[in-house]
Structure 1
């Protein structure tokens, strides 16, 4: 689900997206992610609007990016046997168009994933693929689980508004400090005994117990 907001000072449109999992805190990352990786975004691709949008002369042009997995920084111990791909294709906003006018579409609290930059990202291997297919895929647990990470420094690179609590608390610190924080953080106790299950199962258990 996508809710469009207003324009920023740069003429971009900010969107609020319904996310699969909480992603702001270290506990969220440990509870729902299966791996934390350092990626380098190589290039972006436009996704054409639908025929209905073209006929209406307004709608959304989607955007995907292709990224190389530079390093696996952390694995969920009970799911460390999952094979990690060498590259990832990720949805990353796009553009809102009306006639010949185009405005950049961004997701609130999440970086746009610009080519040439590095990011730290918490991933889950789950069937809740953004396309709605039933094939398991590696996806970000949420927008706040994607953190700029140029020069192995948290928050360095692309500038974003409203970073998650974990990223904000470690702004300007080495990547290793965030990884250390993850290693010393316990998962949500309501997911106890389920860390070898897919993230969707953990989320259902946490919601049911809350």
Structure 2
């Protein structure tokens, strides 16, 4: 996957604000692996990517702490899926691997150009004893064929295999439901209900939204909105900057449709302002 052939800045509101997202065009150079009967990946794919925080006339890059930003001039190995609305999207932040010079781990990661050795060290710090090593760590320094070999030899989850006809987000929910996770999407969303009289600072609300995006499964359209709204809350915390209203409305719709929980405007409430000095 050749890194973005173009970057497009997009303001989220017509008024002055301090957050810009990007629309990134990715050109497919090679299909490494696809499961049987999977839909055909188009030659170019456009995705919404991390952007910038604007403050005092300067731009500060924003990005996930464990992923690539997708920058011009770099190559990547990306795991894509097509969702029910027809849109293609990476399967989460860990589904994007740097791939400059034909070596996994070499290239752009967290906004910086680094070596495969540095990438390996980053993942070594995150390994959990007893857990299966992530694909990123197992393939670092190797060509994309190493990813292909692992995927070809993998045994599909039995529950997922029964629901291959569903889109990735719906299929994930079937698998997660079968495993009865301690935390579900709706249990985490429950404190956001207007009936709970919940109070959250921007950072607290952003944390809940990020947890919801993780529980939503593969990063489809709705999960992306939750993450994007969380980022805009974090970027504007402590300022009067407006939040990403488009992502906020999409997040409200996702939670209320999924759980039947009324969350109102889903705006943060500064507890210190409300309960502080009289």
**1:172 is matched with which residue?**
141
Question: Secondary structure in 2 aligned to 1:139?
Answer: strand
| 1:187 maps to 2:146 | no
**1:15 is matched with which residue?**
none
Question: Secondary structure in 2 aligned to 1:72?
Answer: coil
**Which structure has more helix as a fraction of its residues?**
2
Q: 1:171 to 1:98 in 2, by over 3 A?
A: same
* TM-score under structure 1 length normalisation: 0.69
Answer yes or no: is the 8 Å Cα contact 1:40–1:70 preserved in 2.
no
| 1:208 maps to 2:158 | no
Question: Secondary structure in 2 aligned to 1:74?
Answer: coil
1:7-33 alpha-carbon deviations (Å, 9 max, x no partner):
xxxxxxxxxxxxxxxxxxxxxxxxxxx
1:34-73 residue pairs with structure 2 within 5 A? Answer: 38-52=1-15, 54=16, 58-73=17-32
**1:33 is matched with which residue?**
none
Q: Cα offset for 1:91?
A: 1.6
1:54-101 alpha-carbon deviations (Å, 9 max, x no partner):
1xxx4311112111111111112132xx23211111222110112313
Q: Cα offset for 1:40?
A: 3.6
**Which structure has more strand as a fraction of its residues?**
1
Paired with 1:166 and 1:83, the residues of 2 have a C-alpha distance of 23
Paired with 1:44 and 1:97, the residues of 2 have a C-alpha distance of 17
Structure 1: stretches of 5+ with no match in the other structure: 1-37, 128-134
Q: Root-mean-square deviation (CA), in Å? A: 1.9
Q: 1:51 to 1:40 in 2, by over 3 A?
A: closer
Q: Cα offset for 1:185?
A: 1.0
1:131-187 alpha-carbon deviations (Å, 9 max, x no partner):
xxxx31111111110111112211111134755921122111111111101111112
The structure 1 residue matched to 2:53, chosen from 96, 116, 126, is 96
Question: Secondary structure in 2 aligned to 1:124?
Answer: strand
Question: Secondary structure in 1 aligned to 2:23?
Answer: strand
**2:93 is matched with which residue?**
143
The structure 2 residue matched to 1:77, chosen from 36, 44, 60, is 36
**1:32 is matched with which residue?**
none
Answer yes or no: is the 8 Å Cα contact 1:39–1:71 preserved in 2.
no
Answer yes or no: is the 8 Å Cα contact 1:39–1:121 preserved in 2.
no
Query: Displaced runs of 4+ in structure 1, greater than 6 A?
Result: none
Paired with 2:27 and 2:156, the residues of 1 have a C-alpha distance of 28
Paired with 1:193 and 1:95, the residues of 2 have a C-alpha distance of 41
Structure 2: stretches of 5+ with no match in the other structure: 111-118, 127-133, 180-278
Paired with 2:160 and 2:109, the residues of 1 have a C-alpha distance of 33
